[in-house]
Structure 1
Amino acid sequence: MKSPVEIRLHPVRPALDARPLKKRVGLIILATDHTTEPDFQRMVASENIGVYVARIPFANPVTPDNLRAMQPSLTEAAALILPGEELDAICYSCTSASVVIGDAEIEAAIQAAKPGVSVVTPPLAGVRGLKALGARRISVLTPYTVETSRPMADYFTGHGFDIASFTALGLDDDRDMARISPAALVELARGATSNDADALFISCTAVRAALAAIDIEKAIGRPLVSSNLASAWSCLRLCGDNTPRPEFGRLMTMPIARG
């Protein structure tokens, strides 16, 4: 029988960095989400910014009632992201649920677990992105049904935007929304953008619009703001990263606009 391997205990504790990465972004996403995590890994994560993810239960179809049902899970999800440690921002990555639940309610639920953290919701990030681009009259494209799209229209008009056109694709399963190809989104964006709109907003964190941002902007001749583009842009700016990233479209070259 072999004798046990001798394990030598190093006599000096190694020096520890304050953080493994300088900045930390929490991301709360739906259990069914295929898109947000890879988008944030591509657009936000770096050698200086870590992205840390928690998933919460969600049951399709995408209806106002099912969206609202996620609210009780937000505090627990936030608490599970690096417990006891501070984050620079937390994004709740669901546009339609943020509209239905309300930005203030989401912020309160997340800050119950992470006091004082900056909270990002996709619709409010979209508002700030559109303002940063100087847009006032907008076109909106959603993958949702008319029922789920109606609160979205009310949200943007409530924030002072004039809606030139609003197009809904009629889908009610977020997994199907994630399957719309980026190439198809370019053509859908072209058809959904009014000639007198200052910009196009594409809603839904499941939709892969960020992958097609440059092509969409070329096709429509004006800026694109999508849910994940706006959320990623907000998180980067909250982390103090103001590096222009024109490869992701015009929004990613802009400073953040508050209010």
Structure 2
Amino acid sequence: MRTFNLELVSRRPTLADRPIAKRVGLVILATDHTTEVDFQRMVASDGVGVYVNRIPYANPTTPENLLAMQPSLTAGAALILPGESLDVVMYSCTSASVVIGDDAIVTAIKQAKPQVEVVTPTTAAVAALRTLGAKRISILTPYTLETSQLMAEYFVGTGFDIARFCCLGMVDDREMARITPEEIIEYAKDATAADSDALFISCTALRSAGAVPRMEAAIGKPVVTSNLATAWACLRHCNDYQSRPELGQLMTVDVRAET
């Protein structure tokens, strides 16, 4: 073995409290193609780090399979920077948030990260729609009628009037991720009722967030998607209120909203 003249530096480095000032943790499905990419585009920056862990999930997207994720939530959150604090943790499944329940998800994640703010796509979407002043909404989902019915009940239960609800009848989130943004725009046009205040597009698997400005131009109304709403909520929890019109109307509203 060759010997080198190695020198140990005597001065210890000064350590920053955090490598990046704000920390966003994502608990996402093992099958998710979309959330991580969207958050790197919309949330991550020199001042906000995005840290991801995946939990088991088995298709098809049925209430039973969605509910089966609940026992994995605490361990999933615990493995994101173990022993270190996060500013916010987002659980990235809209339909499971309805089936499991927002409060149950918060409880499970706080068992691992007690001081963290917790965001679900459903709570974020409700806050986003209210911030935009929407009361009567249209909804588009990729889900089956059975899963979509639960989504409709959730939004009615949180005080919204549903003008139109359209669903695609799909059962595999990996296939949902393969719908092109251009096709989502066309579905959005069909799903939007003329008398609605806004359109909500559910599902973190859909590649809809990047098409929001084009959809808003096409339908003449604000559009909220699952990943846009959660990105917005996570940024607000990191005290980032920068206007980003290129991401859609939601990211331009200068309201210090409770998310």
Fold shared per TM-score above 0.5: yes
Closer, same or farther in 2 for the Cα pair 1:174/1:200, shift >3 Å? same
Which residue does 1:258 correspond to in 2?
258
TM-score (norm 1): 0.98
Structure 1: how far apart are the matches of 2:134 and 2:116? 28
Deviation for aligned residue 1:256: 4.6
Report SS of the residue matched to 2:12. Answer: coil
Which residue does 1:49 correspond to in 2?
48
Q: Are the aligned partners of 1:64 and 1:100 in contact in 2 as well (CA < 8 Å)?
A: yes
Deviation for aligned residue 1:257: 2.8
Which residue does 1:220 correspond to in 2?
219
> What count of residue pairs does the alignment treat as equivalent?
258
1:173 matched to 2:204? The reply is: no
Which residue does 2:89 correspond to in 1?
90
Structure 2: how far apart are the matches of 1:162 and 1:191? 18
Report SS of the residue matched to 2:25. Answer: strand
Structure 1: how far apart are the matches of 2:72 and 2:177? 23
Which residue does 1:197 correspond to in 2?
196
Structure 2: how far apart are the matches of 1:116 and 1:126? 22
Q: Deviations over 1:164-208 (max 9, x none)?
A: 000000000000100110000111000000000000000000001
Q: Are the aligned partners of 1:178 and 1:207 in contact in 2 as well (CA < 8 Å)?
A: yes
Which residue does 1:118 correspond to in 2?
117
How is 1:92-171 mapped onto 2 (pairs within 5 angstroms)? 92-171=91-170
Which residue does 1:64 correspond to in 2?
63
Q: Deviations over 1:196-252 (max 9, x none)?
A: 000000000000111101110011100000000000000000000000100000011
| Residue segments in structure 1 that go unaligned for 5+ positions in a row | none
Q: Are the aligned partners of 1:131 and 1:257 in contact in 2 as well (CA < 8 Å)?
A: no
Which residue does 1:15 correspond to in 2?
14
**What root-mean-square deviation, in Å, do the aligned CA atoms of Structure 1 and Structure 2 show?**
0.9
Deviates more, 1:77-86 or 1:5-14: 5-14
Deviation for aligned residue 1:5: 1.6
Deviation for aligned residue 1:138: 0.1
